[in-house]
Chains A and B, each alone.
Chain A
Amino acid sequence: MAITTPEGNLPLLSGEAEARVFWRLRRRLLWTITRQSVSQGWLRLVLVVALSLVLWLGLFGLFSEGFFFLKLAITIANTHDQLLRAVFGMFFAALMVMLVFSATIILYSSLFHSRETAFLMTNPVRTERIFLHKFQEAIVLGSWGSLLMGSPMLVAHGMVAGAPWYYYAVLAPLMVAFVYIPASIGAIVCLLVVRCLPGARVRVLALPLAVIVVLAAWFVWSLTTGRQSDLLTPAWFREILGRLEFAQHRFLPSWWLSSGLLEAARGVWSESVLFLTVLIANALFFRQLAIGFAARLYRPAYSSLRGKGTLGQRKRRYWLDGLIRCATFALPKSTRLLIVKDLKLFRRDPVQWSQFLIFFGLLGLYFLNIREFTYNISISAWVNMISFLNVAVVGLLLSTFTTRFIFPLISLEGRHFWILGLLPLRRDTILWSKFLFAVGGAIVPCSALILLSDFMLGVSPAVLVSHQLTSVILCLGLAGIAVGLGARLPNLRERSPSRIAAGFGGTLSLVLSTLYIVVVVMLAAIPCHFGLISQRAQMVAGHAARQSIAYPWIQSGLWVGILASFLLAVAATVIPLRIGFKAFRRMEF
């Protein structure tokens, strides 16, 4: 073997050759992942495809109904067109803001904290190529969800409007060109923030996010605080259109996109192509701008980020640990210590709590605004249904949290199990601490959210108590499923919690959790619903007719439902935990 002489010409790749190398890499990775998903993760694949399809069709049906309603309700073509422009403009403007933020956050993580980029940077690859490699990933990761949610709306609109074939043909190019613009802006923001303010990056990124959340909350509030008598009147339309006017600024890419789509649906293909061209030109410009920024800023930014010490950031939040220690005073000391340890790990990983905070915050915003929507909250059965649906939504959100964060805890512990394994601790204590951590962490936000929803809806004290009981039952069962299955089906090879959660065990945990929520909420909601209907019927019918309404049966049903919920909760908590304890005691690390 002979070394490559430093004097000789080194075979540095051209830009095109580099692109081909990375394309081959991506193709190989995609092929392996697809093959593995089909052969090993078929359950997850089938579930993902089936649930996506159900979601897509559900949204498609909803949007079709909505567009039909608008078509029938607003017969004046000009007003109908204005309203559609306002709806599309608002939707895509919101999507644009979300894509800027998601690209910024995804790229911050993948460019500056990924081991792959560190590896690539030690190879003779252009900085721009590394950036592009991660940028393409960020575009796919940041936009697929939005496209999944947005495409049924666009297809539904096309079908209701009787759009010609080229409407469907330009959908994808318009969307792809559009997505590039906010993603490029997000990439530039990310690079500039990390390069110029590496020490204050979190605050710099969090501040505009907080401002946008507050503005969005104010906006939703202002849209929904109109008098009911004005609803669907010309004055109401004018007011709403006036409030949405800002989303139709001519310099906004979201306006170009909505105009391109609406013109194509109307059959004006030349206008549609014009907007497509504008979008493509801008997409290429912003992409090139982002690459230019990356060429100059990425490596220095990467280096400066690592130049920032993290000392002094750890001492401020000890009050929370102290609070948890006080709140868990009745538990054995070892269990308390383990709970505080898990809490520390949780709060020091912003990826974990920020998602938790955003989703629960959004749900809180919705609950706060619930009175302002146009429900008829004078009908108790209707209120009851909404309130139970809210409980189910909180439960579903909690199930994603337990699957994503609680299920992988044992797998992650397994990699460093020797640390705990050498301590004078029983293995059961470790698992109990995870369970209590999950239950404690879930009960407070869930009960608070459900209480808020009930307060805003003005439910009766009896329903409020039943909701709080349901919340406790959900928290116990979901924590039991996540901890039990996490111990029974661990993945000790994987380091990434999201990948552990995405495996067979995580998927099974999510499916069982969803089923559990549906059954528990139904068991509590159905008897309660019929009870309220019967009460209303009795009030309407008067004393004489009371005997003809099978009230005792309904009351019995209520008790049976409550009893069945409790039994199910005990089963969902105890059975997975028992299985988990048994497996964990025998587990070899």
Chain B
Amino acid sequence: MIDFTNVTRRFGSKTAVDDLSLSVRSGEVFALLGPNGAGKTTAIKMLVGLLRPNSGTVSVFGNDLVRQTRQAVAHIGYIPDQPFLYDKLSGREFLDFVGDMRGLDRDTRRQRIARECDNFDLGEFIDNLTETYSHGMKQRLVFASALLHDPAALVIDEPMVGLDPRRMRLVKDLLQQRAGEGAVVLMSTHTLAVAEEIADRIGIVDHGHLHFNGTIEQLRDKFPARHNSLESLFLEMTNGNNHP
């Protein structure tokens, strides 16, 4: 379970996240939607322990991200929008390092690496240095590394960036499968079609405020007869397209 309780985060005079309260339950896919600069990535960075809230608390399965950072992030598999890889490690060595950090023993690491190689078709390039990878290959490797320890919470910032249609389908299925097995999935995205397709619940953030939190049906009920697509509902919620 992921909990944001009255979370506020400021950058200088700008409030990026303003009094955010949000809970995402186990077995749920939650999509955080919002225009550029709405505060989605800031919320995610607080969730994975990179930023601290100015006020309020963020917790993962009861572990406070500020006081019990290690315990909290141990539950999380995080896929950032701009993944980091060690250029001078091969994909296998990188996965081995991540598994090692996550406390997996050698045999388990080998099995899980083989499993994720199959899932994400890493076999062809897994033993090459990551400096030779394309963006899509890097993104697949990062997905594999985030799933290596079978996390109870998956946090993804822009999940579809750099993936080809086949891998996009794979990721969508995988996220639903993980949620089906009881994991919490929280993703931030601009791809409304993905949110519409796989999210059980969506949150629309704008100027740091959570303007809507519920299912797409509930959103449609809120604006009856005027809009049908999530895109038009989103534009209505975020006040048209007058954003940077």
| A interface list, Cβ under 8 A from B | 1-6, 10-13, 17-18, 21, 24-25, 28-29, 32-33, 36, 115-116, 118-119, 121-127, 299-300, 302-303, 306-311, 493
Contact = CB atoms under 8 A, between A and B. Distances in A.
A24 B97 contact: yes
Given A36-B88, A123-B102, A493-B131, A4 B49 contact: no
Nearest to B69: A299
A229 to B, nearest CB: 61
Interface string B68-81: 01110111101010
Given A1-B115, A29-B89, A303 B84 contact: no
Contact of B11 (A17, A118, A126, A307): A307
B115 A4 contact: no
B107 to A, nearest CB: 14
A308 B182 CA distance: 38
A17 to B, nearest CB: 8
Contacts of A309: 11-14
Interface residues of B, number: 50
Interface in B46-74: 48-52, 54, 61-62, 69-71, 73-74
A118 B151 CA distance: 19
Contact of A121 (B11, B49, B74, B150): B49
Contacts of A123: 73, 98, 101-102
Contacts of A2: 150, 181
Nearest to A493: B131
Contacts of B181: 1-3
26 contacts: A1-B115, A3-B150, A6-B1, A10-B103, A11-B104, A18-B101, A21-B100, A24-B97, A24-B100, A28-B97, A32-B88, A32-B89, A36-B88, A115-B82, A118-B84, A121-B50, A122-B50, A124-B71, A124-B74, A125-B70, A126-B70, A303-B50, A303-B52, A306-B11, A306-B51, A310-B12
A124 B70 contact: yes
Contact of B151 (A4, A11, A121, A299): A4
Contacts of A115: 82, 84
A122 B74 contact: no
Given A29-B88, A32-B89, A124 B11 contact: no
The secondary-structure label for the interface of chain B is loop
A328 B88 CA distance: 43
Given A124-B102, A311-B12, A10 B74 contact: yes
A3 B151 contact: yes
A189 B182 CA distance: 46
Given A309-B11, A309-B13, 17 more contacts: A4-B152, A6-B61, A6-B62, A12-B74, A13-B103, A17-B103, A25-B86, A28-B89, A118-B84, A119-B84, A121-B49, A121-B50, A123-B101, A300-B52, A306-B11, A307-B12, A307-B54
B216 interface: no
Contacts of B10: 307
A125 to B, nearest CB: 6
B115 A125 contact: no
Contacts, number: 119
Contacts of B52: 299-300, 303
A6 to B, nearest CB: 4
Contacts of A302: 50
Contacts of B76: 122
B183 to A, nearest CB: 5
A308 B151 contact: no
Contacts of A25: 86, 89, 97
Given A29-B88, A302-B50, A307-B12, A4 B150 contact: yes
Contact of A125 (B11, B101, B150, B182): B101
A122 B73 contact: yes
Nearest to B63: A6
Contacts of B93: 28
Interface in B1-47: 1, 9-14, 26
A519 B75 CA distance: 63
A122 B78 contact: yes
B129 interface: yes
B138 interface: no
Nearest to B116: A1
A132 to B, nearest CB: 14
A299 B50 CA distance: 8
B11 A21 contact: no
B149 interface: yes
A492 to B, nearest CB: 12
A25 B94 CA distance: 9
B140 interface: no
A121 B73 CA distance: 9
A4 B70 contact: no
Nearest to A304: B52
Nearest to A312: B12
